[in-house]
């Protein structure tokens, strides 16, 4: 049987030298909005200025003119192998640690168009954070895994979610190698195959699961060929 691995990308397999999924043989024309030249220039200038100041700060630290605050690992980390080396270490030390509080912000509400943030502060230059107990309300959600809005609190939607959770459990969000195969998986794969006009398909919940758990089971580590 010819299989189509369908996730964010489609991986084509061959049987007897013939590739499946003929629908993908036609050319795809994608167009993207071209960024203005000044945006590109200012972006590179920003990176250049940040890098220049980073090297300047490293020089001042080496001369003893600046105290190594956010650039110094904590004592508990001294016995571990460094997580970053070379330029990664430079970037983490001089750029990322200074603005780390902008990422991985914990929320305490439904991830809808707006959500509530748990306020946090750092006492050691963004190495660690502590919560203040205060909640920041109605923050605009600029990026979330709630792609289809299923995390909203619409009453009828919640009834459906509750019924399906009682029937299938929360394990449906995990990989089938861990929680087993369900009828919904089979139904989805039949729908995808019918939509694409192929014999069969395999669906995965996320791209990382495809890469880390399924491709290694099919492709050899050294040769890169499909296992028989």
Record the tokens describing residue 158, joined without a space: 């919640």
Examine the pLDDT at 69 and tell me if it is beyond 50: yes
Instruction: Judge contact between 15 and 32, C-beta under 8 A.
Output: no
What is the per-residue DSSP string for 181-201? --HHHHHHHHHHHHHHTSS-E
Q: Report the percentage of the chain scoring pLDDT > 90.
A: 18
Mean pLDDT of 59-79: 73
H-type alpha helices, 69-214: 86-94, 155-168, 176-179, 183-196, 207-209
From CA 149, how far away is CA 112, in angstroms rounded? 7
Q: What's the whole-number average pLDDT of the chain?
A: 76
Q: In angstroms, rounded to a whole number, what is the distance separating the alpha carbons of residues 146 and 216?
A: 29
* Confidence class for position 136, pLDDT limits 50, 70, 90: very high
**What is the pLDDT, as a whole number, of residue 137?**
93
DSSP H or E run through 47: helix 37-62
């Amino acid at each position: 049987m010819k299989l189509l691995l369908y996730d964010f990308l489609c991986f084509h397999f061959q049987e007897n030298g013939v590739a499946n999924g003929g629908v993908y043989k036609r050319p795809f024309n994608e167009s993207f909005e071209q960024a203005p030249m000044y945006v590109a220039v200012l972006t590179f200038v920003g990176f250049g200025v940040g890098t220049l100041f980073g090297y300047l700060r490293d020089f001042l630290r080496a001369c003893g003119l600046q105290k190594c605050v956010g650039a110094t690992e904590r004592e508990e980390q001294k016995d571990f192998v460094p997580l970053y080396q070379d330029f990664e270490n430079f970037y983490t030390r001089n750029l990322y640690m200074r603005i780390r509080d902008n990422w991985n912000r914990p929320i305490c509400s439904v991830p809808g168009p707006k959500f509530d943030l748990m306020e946090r502060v750092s006492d050691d230059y963004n190495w660690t954070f502590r919560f203040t107990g205060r909640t920041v309300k109605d923050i605009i959600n600029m990026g979330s895994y709630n792609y289809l809005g299923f995390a909203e609190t619409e009453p009828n939607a919640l009834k459906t979610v509750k019924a399906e959770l009682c029937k299938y459990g929360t394990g449906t969000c995990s990989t089938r190698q861990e929680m087993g195969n369900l009828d919904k998986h089979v139904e989805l794969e039949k729908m995808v195959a019918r939509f694409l006009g192929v014999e069969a398909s395999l669906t995965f919940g996320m791209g990382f699961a495809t890469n880390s758990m399924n491709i290694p089971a099919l492709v050899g580590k050294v040769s890169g060929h499909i296992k028989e």
